[in-house]
Amino acid sequence: MRYLRLSTLLSALSFSGLAQAAVGAWGQCGGQTYTGETTCVAGQCLPSTSSVSSTTSRSSSSSSSTRSSSSSSSTRTSSTSTSTRISSSSTRTSSSATSSPTVNIPRSTFTEITSYYGSNPTNVRSWIYVPANLATNPPIVAAIHWCSGSANAMYSTGVFNNLAEQKGFIVIFPETANSDKCWDVHTTETLTHNAGGDSLGIVSAIRWTIANYGANSARVYATGISSGAMMTNVLLGAYPDIFAAGSAVAGVPYACFQGTPSWSTECATGQLIKTPQEWGNLVRNGYPGFTGTRPKMQFWHGTADDVLYYQNFLEETKQWTNVFGVSTTPTNTVQNYPIAGWTRYDYGPNVMGISAAGVGHGISYQSTQIMEWFGL
């Protein structure tokens, strides 16, 4: 089932205060089956524009309902950026880094990669942001949008380009070609290593960046919100050879939507219950025979989420602890992390879950802690 886009809502949000915008009956206010109010107040269903933590400023971040969301833009502390398109003749997709860039990508600019950059069967579009103070052999962060979102909406939060300028990493902003702007997280192709789907399009852009911009193939990270969080799970499951870590904000386990036309009510409402072994086997089947180091996984969820129910947090816990062969009993618990009422659960060094008491699907994006998880 396809979902309404919220371009009017995206443009209606202001830097501060509450802007009203009419949306579909299962738009900002709720999920697929929502039948309540069709006019929402920004900040009621999504985090307020001041609730996103950044290492440089209190910048706002985008959050979403699974099939619709809004984005708020913040004042950026980095140099002024413009949007351009760039084409390159390079077609290398190897994972080995080069000592210097082989393409001429403008610095501090939101730039679409329009050249061929590898297998991309679903026509995922990708933008790249290379900071002015690019680190030597820089890391890469893939910032993945929510349903009804876009690469530009993710970029316009100001969070990732500001952090890139401060820390020297490259950001890839992918965008799905699906009409509802929801990621393919359900097909066999996207769930399988090098088999196709949206996941391969994202990975191809990352491989292109590694090969053509001297990026560090051992320091590639994925993070996303809602549908982008689902894709983060997919990427870490199907491409453990590409990613070092991921952070999923309000998502579902890898393969939770598997085999559905595109939307799984069973998964979304927390009715898809599996054992840790069953969940772990799904991840292992994403790349059969993989014997390397698995990427570490962090996931965030609000206990009052009525779009992707909180049970999905518990199922993610089962899945990723099994992948790493550790217990579902936390090895460490931190109260009020990073906000009062939120609780961090550590399951050894490679799995972390953050539970936000009383918070809905619009859980705020905590960039400081996520960058710490990535080691950036």
Enter the DSSP assignment of 269.
T
Residue 117 is predicted with a pLDDT of: 83
For the chain, 376 residues long, give each residue's pLDDT as a single digit of tens: 333 333 322 332 222 222 222 222 222 223 333 233 333 323 223 232 223 333 333 233 333 333 333 333 333 333 333 444 433 333 323 334 344 677 788 999 999 998 888 999 999 999 999 999 999 999 999 999 999 999 999 999 999 999 999 999 999 999 999 999 999 999 999 999 999 999 999 999 999 999 988 899 999 999 999 999 999 999 999 999 999 999 999 999 999 999 988 899 999 999 999 999 999 999 999 999 999 999 999 999 999 999 999 999 999 999 999 999 999 999 999 999 999 999 999 999 999 999 999 999 999 999 999 999 999 9
Helices (H), 227-356: 227-238, 265-268, 276-286, 311-323
Which of 68, 126, 156, 226 is catalytic? The answer is: 226
Q: Would you say residue 93 lies in a domain? A: yes
Q: Which residues are within 8 A (CB) of 131 and not within 5 positions of it... i.e. 6 or more apart?
A: 78, 107, 108, 161, 164, 165, 168, 169, 170
Could you say which DSSP state residue 209 is in? H
Placement of tokens 């950059």 in the chain: 117
**Is there a domain that residue 338 lies in?**
yes
Of the candidates 246, 244, 251, the residue with the CA atom closest to the CA atom of residue 229: 251
15 lies in some domain: no
How far apart CA 286 and CA 243 sit, in angstroms, is 14
* pTM confidence score: 0.78
Question: Residue 104: what pLDDT?
Answer: 82
CA 55 to chain centre: 19
Q: What is the phi/psi pair of residue 350, to 5°? A: -110, -5
Q: Which domain holds residue 140?
A: 50-63+80-374
CATH number for the domain that contains residue 140: 3.40.50.1820
Q: What is the pLDDT of residue 241?
A: 98
Question: b/e string for 4-32 if b means 16 or more Cβ within 10 A?
Answer: bbbeebbeebeeeeebebebbebbbbbbb
- Cα separation, 186 vs 3, whole angstroms: 16
Q: How many domains does the chain have?
A: 1
- Domain-located, residue 115: yes
As a whole number of angstroms, the distance between CA 220 and CA 245 comes to 7
| Contact status, residue 169 vs residue 371, Cβ threshold 8 Å | no
d(CA 223, CA 12): 25
Report if residue 69 sits inside a domain: no
Flag whether 13 is in a domain: no
Domain-embedded: residue 257: yes
Task: Give the pLDDT score at 100.
Answer: 65
Residue 199 known to be catalytic: no
C-beta of residue 221 within 8 angstroms of C-beta of residue 139 = yes
User: Is residue 58 domain-resident?
Assistant: yes
Q: Are 229 and 248 in contact (CB under 8 A)?
A: yes
Ramachandran angles phi, psi of 36, nearest 5°: -85, -140
Q: Scanning the structure block, which residue is given the tokens 């659960």?
A: 345
Say which residues have a Cβ less than 8 Å from residue 241's Cβ, sequence separation at least 6: 193, 287, 290, 292
